[in-house]
């Protein structure tokens, strides 16, 4: 298949991904004051609402109708650690990795920091990433080699070159929200060395904040492919860097993620190493 044909296929998928997140965003917005039943998943910190499920159903239905041969990995349907491994060797060219609401705790509490995240992967690598915050109407998009955009305007990572100038974000895994945890110790290592720390509560949006130069670093353990598939491409297309905790290029099957503008990456890895 020639390059131009492949690009045009991905251009169509890109437009579809944007259409789907906007439609899911409309659905979520219409439920802002009425979240329906809230259920616990693995524990009291790991929650899902009826709106997560309805958003996911809408996305799965649309993708399946338009692209019946593509595989779909989504949080509430396939939420198990090895799900990505099962899917990535699937026969079809493209796979869709979706989080119908990334930042469910924020959604439940009315904190306007959650998003719909759609990543399209080919041969295990993200080629399209779309993240939409339906409250602020911020739409982050990227296509591999075509750059990253916020509401259609190109974005780039920040130019900070030291940790001392950097605001760094992180988050707790739902299963590890306790004092003395690894992330608490890592925050302690950064205290006084970075400009400040933030815990916003949506990994996909954190990667987009990083991609648009508003924070300079982000790390998180225990993420799943639906949290990162879109955001990682948006970040790398904006000039950023993503690795595992040892500095190896980040893969969707990795458990740890360290992301930055590139310039502070080494210093960040060294500082949060325990």
**In the complex, which residues of this chain contact ligand 2AM (CB under 6 A)?**
46, 75, 99, 102-104, 171-175, 201-203, 222-224, 227
Q: How far is residue 266 from each of residues 184, 220, 269, measured CA to CA in Å?
A: 20, 16, 5
Q: Under 8 Å CB-to-CB from 102, ≥6 apart: which residues?
A: 114, 115, 116, 117, 131, 202, 203, 204, 205, 226, 227
Least distance between Ca ion and beta carbon 202 (Å) = 9
DSSP-based three-state secondary structure for 99: strand
Question: Of 92-100, 201-209, 238-246, 258-266, which part binds Ca ion (CB under 5 A)?
Answer: 92-100
In the complex, least distance from residue 173 CB atom to ligand 2AM, rounded to whole angstroms? 5
Q: Is the separation of the CB atoms in 113 and 106 below 8 Å?
A: yes
Shorter beta-carbon distance to ligand 2AM: residue 161 or 256: 256
Binding mask 116-145 for Ca ion (x = CB under 5 A): ------------------------------
Instruction: Residue 43: name the closest of 105, 97, 99, 85 by CA.
Output: 105
Q: Which does 56 bind (CB under 5 to 8 A by kind): ligand 2AM, Ca ion, none?
A: none
* Partner that binds at residue 227, options Ca ion, ligand 2AM, none, CB closer than 5 to 8 Å by kind: ligand 2AM
Residue corresponding to tokens 């997140």: 21
Report the residue from 99, 160, 206, 237 that binds Ca ion according to the rule CB under 5 A: 99
- Give whichever of 202 and 261 is closer to ligand 2AM, judged by the CB atom: 202
Residue 149 bridge partners (DSSP): 141, 154
Residue whose CB is less far from Ca ion, 75 or 267: 75
Cβ proximity to ligand 2AM, 10 vs 221, nearer residue: 221
Among 17, 51, 56, 75, binds Ca ion (CB under 5 A): 75
Tokens matching residue 134: 């339906």
Q: How far is the CB of 250 from Ca ion (least distance, A)?
A: 19
At its nearest, how many Å lie between Ca ion and the CB of residue 254?
19
Element spanning 125, H or E: strand 125-133
Contact 209, 169 (CB under 8 A): yes
How many chain residues are in contact with Ca ion, going by CB under 5 A?
3
Residue nearest to ligand 2AM (CB): 171
Q: Which does 158 bind (CB under 5 to 8 A by kind): ligand 2AM, Ca ion, none?
A: none
Tell me the C-alpha distance between 100 and 114, whole Å: 10
- Residue 267 is a binding residue for Ca ion (CB under 5 A): no
Tokens found for residue 142: 């990227």
Q: How would DSSP label each residue in 31-73? A: TTT----EEESSSTTSEEEHHHHHHHHHHHHHHHHH-TTSEEE
Please identify, using beta-carbon distances, which residue of 99 and 267 lies nearer to ligand 2AM.
Answer: 99
């Amino acid at each position: 298949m020639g390059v131009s044909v492949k690009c045009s296929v991905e251009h169509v998928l890109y437009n579809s991904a944007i259409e789907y997140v906007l439609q899911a965003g409309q659905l979520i917005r219409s439920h802002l004051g009425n979240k329906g039943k809230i259920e616990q998943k693995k524990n009291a910190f790991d929650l899902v609402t009826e709106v997560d499920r309805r958003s996911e159903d809408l996305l799965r239905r649309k993708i399946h109708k338009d692209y019946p041969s593509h595989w779909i990995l989504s949080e509430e349907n396939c939420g198990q650690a090895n799900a990505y491994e099962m899917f990535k060797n699937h026969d079809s060219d493209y796979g869709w990795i979706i989080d119908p609401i990334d930042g469910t705790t924020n959604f439940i509490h009315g904190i306007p920091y959650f998003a719909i995240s759609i990543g399209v992967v080919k041969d295990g690598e993200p080629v399209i990433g779309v993240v939409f915050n339906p409250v602020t109407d911020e739409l982050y998009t990227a296509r591999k080699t075509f750059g990253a955009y916020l509401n259609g305007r190109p974005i780039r990572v920040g130019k900070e070159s030291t940790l001392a100038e950097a605001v760094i974000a992180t988050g707790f895994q739902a299963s590890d929200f306790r004092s003395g945890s690894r992330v608490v110790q890592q925050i302690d290592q950064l205290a006084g060395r970075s400009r400040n720390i933030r815990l916003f509560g949506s990994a996909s949006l954190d990667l987009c904040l990083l991609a648009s130069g508003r924070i300079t670093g982000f790390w998180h353990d225990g993420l799943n492919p639906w949290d990162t598939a879109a955001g990682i491409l948006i970040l790398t297309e904006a000039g950023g860097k993503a690795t595992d905790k040892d500095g190896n290029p980040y893969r969707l099957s990795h458990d740890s993620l360290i992301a930055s503008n590139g310039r502070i990456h080494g210093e960040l890895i060294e500082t949060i190493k325990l």
